[in-house]
Amino acid sequence: MTDRVKELDLKGLKCPLPVLHTRKALARLAAGDRLIVLCTDPLSKIDIPHLIHETGDRLADSRAEGEVFMFEIVRRG
């Protein structure tokens, strides 16, 4: 069985909504699944990595593309 990839488009949402939606989406994923999160809120550069540290998941990639911040998260397990 292959790991699944889910994309979460949170562009336009302001703090704390990106983190809240990300936490909720992670809770629905199985171990090894990947979540791609797209945000435009500058605070997400701090908030999303902090969330990942709390949950024990892995931040596989994080980068900015223009005004969009992209985070690739691998669900722990």
Within 10 A of 28 (CB to CB), how many other CB atoms are there? Answer: 10
Instruction: Give the Cα separation of 8 and 70 in Å (integer).
Output: 10
Residues classed as catalytic:
15
Residue pair 72/62 in contact (Cβ under 8 Å)? The answer is: yes
